[in-house]
């Protein structure tokens, strides 16, 4: 992957959660992870400051990929923020699908992946 700054939306501070494991894997492989979770905002997750929203995070970092660990019904507002901040890619983890939000993102020029694990895809391709 050429992208280096990956926002992990819905990341958990708990190390036993998939979002935490994927973020740790990406970080171990040289990617800068940007935790986004309003309940954890202001804390450190994997040594990185956690932001309440993508909008807040985008004030500090240019975000290449938004990796979503949210329910499918929660994806439309994430896509709206992705469009507003000019993100390049929205990635919906395994089991997460929202066709209308994906179409909206694509119409805005954002690359979209659904129902795929970023960690697994990285392991396969890199």
pLDDT of residue 126: 81
pLDDT of residue 3: 67
The pLDDT profile of the chain, 126 residues, written as one tens digit per residue, is 566 899 999 999 999 999 999 999 999 999 999 999 999 999 999 999 999 999 999 999 999 999 999 999 999 999 999 999 999 999 999 999 999 999 999 999 999 999 999 999 999 988
Which pTM value belongs to this model? 0.94
pLDDT of residue 35: 98
Structural domains for the chain: 5-125 (3.40.50.720)
34 sits in which H/E element: strand 32-36
pLDDT of residue 2: 63
pLDDT of residue 51: 98
């Amino acid at each position: 992957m050429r992208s280096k700054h990956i926002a992990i939306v819905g990341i958990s501070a708990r190390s036993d959660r998939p979002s935490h494991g994927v973020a740790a894997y990406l970080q171990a492989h040289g990617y800068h992870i940007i935790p986004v979770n309003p309940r954890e905002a202001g804390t450190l997750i994997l040594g990185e400051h956690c932001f309440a929203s993508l909008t807040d995070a985008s004030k500090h970092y240019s975000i290449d990929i938004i990796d979503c660990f949210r329910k499918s019904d929660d994806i439309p507002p994430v896509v709206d923020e992705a469009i507003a901040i000019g993100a390049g890619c929205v990635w919906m983890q395994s089991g997460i699908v929202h066709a209308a939000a994906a179409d909206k993102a694509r119409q805005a020029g954002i690359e979209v992946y659904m129902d795929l694990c970023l960690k697994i895809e990285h392991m396969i391709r890199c």
